Structure 1
Amino acid sequence: MEAKTKDLWVLVETDQNGGAKNVGLELLNPGRRLAEGQQGKLVAVVIGSRVDEAVKAAQAHGADQIIVVDGPEFARYTTDAYTDTLYALVEKYGPTTLLIGATGNGRDLAPRLSCRLKTGLTADCTGLDIDEQSGNVAWTRPAFGGNLMATILCPDHRPQIGTVRPGVFKKKEPDGSRSAEVIREEIHIPEERLRTRVLDVISELSKELVDLEGAEIIVSGGRGVGGPEGFRTIRELADALGATVGASRAAVDSGWISRSHQVGQSGKTVGPKLYIAAGISGAIQHLVGMNSSDVVVAVNKDPDAPIFGVADYGVVGDLFQVLPALTESVKKRKGLS
């Protein structure tokens, strides 16, 4: 289809209580820059049930316009209801670009929608920009198993669609004084159109709940910790700092720590205020998962380790000497020892 506007849309996912999920609010941040580059409006699309809180959040986080579809059939995500609804909205308004979070729902919805619209989809993006020559969105994502970064353009079809991992971009501080135009669309999906129905949602929690994406401080260990017992040193520093424990894929694949701790291309994408990488060489697969961190501290024996290329502070040394000393220093400052 041809674009009818130069607007950029961000799908703001909602939870069962009608609140906005973080990833949609995060995407309003780069969405502002891209919308200005396309000379269009930044539009939030909110689909759900009783979504007034999500609408307020989208307004406070920078949307110029908010398109709302509110109905009981949208309380829980289903492929048919959300695809039909978003397709109808795109057909009516014709945006140039659509950003969707690379969540479980987003990864289900985006390819279905792009196929129906006969347009391209760039999945799992870690970078967004405007190509100066063509004016198209330049979507950047890991390729070939994370061994290089590819930048992809969609010059011939509209809308341009991409999914972006949660945590890649940071939310702007909300501004409660902002106002935005709110358009409410009456779209209802007949029950016979819905081929699947959610009967119940069962949350299975592991023995420890690992919130890497929401953590402000993360202490991660890699192959250099040497084994599962090496993570005791990582945990001691994390406990002293009030931090969350992370890990590289190498440590997870070796069975030293559970996959729920994994940071990187095949794990979680994080953006803490402080990221401490101990015994992590810095393969690109890991770097794409933590390059949004405010401050990165690297501890590694190898002075040529790639992690030092992205670190704000680097310590060349044995992590089993450096981390205990740092832990003791933190405890003294907190009056814990």
Structure 2
Amino acid sequence: MSEVKVFDFMGKRNIALVFSIILLVVSVVSLASRGLNFGLDFTGGAQIELGFQQEADVNEIRSLLEGAGYNDVNVKFFGNNTDILINMQEDNKPQLGAEVLALVAEQRPDVELRRNEYVGPQVGEELANKGGIGMLVALALVMIYIAFRFQFKFAVGAVAALIHDVIIVLGFFSVTQLAVDLTVLAAVLAVIGYSLNDTIVVSDRIRESFRIIRRDDVKYLINLSLSQTLGRTIITSLTTLLVLIALAIFGGEMIFGFAIALTVGVGIGTYSSIYVAANILMIMDISKEDLMPQEKETVDQDEVPSWLKDEEGEEPK
């Protein structure tokens, strides 16, 4: 087996810590002050689908509707470039679809109304609450699993990395004010799974290094473990990012938020596996003793040599 070049990841841990704190502060401040731009799935409103004979222009339709006084208009392609899905923050009006159709038909006579629906805000509130509860339950179960699978300090590092990733992804959507719908929520949950997988791979290698290498330098052992998993991390992240970037560019507006959320999440998740989870282990003073199996406190009777026992089979006092 060829010798692995050991990179000094932990030598830059203080710089990484400052970088993470800056990202977290910006995200939290933006979330507190600006909030998230929730889509129709969470806020409720009208949803109208239009079909055209020829390719549609989403920007033209959006400008047309905004000029007519409609609120928070979101126009995007739906499946192909001749189908349009319109979301608007409007009250439940059965005639709204006909009004929009008549307005668009003045510019594009080849249009037809295919769907006119209303999503109530109560449904949106329920989805938001269940989504938040789902993420909290996922984080709690992750911490319990890693505490049993590895050690409590590893669990703290893994959950800290997951919370770090989720806050920064949500902060990104708050800063950019991109619409947050159910596809973005699904992407955030997928980021938790991706980041957790990366963290477990790194944690497993750190544990093995602590057990088999006769060296007490914690910083060196962590750097060695991170260097050994670096190739796998780079290949996995790059191939995933290439697919996500292609989806964001060519996948259309229906999955744009999903692709962007995963792109940001995969990037920050790869970073957190190295500079958050491992950094937490350094801060909590992880040591070889934390990972060594506990020694037996009592000796089994069967393990006591016969010459140490008296005639009645008991150990001499």
Is TM (by shorter chain) over 0.5?
A: no
**Structure showing greater Rg:** 2
Structure having the larger proportion of residues in strand: 1
TM-score (norm: length of structure 1): 0.24
Structure having the larger proportion of residues in helix: 2
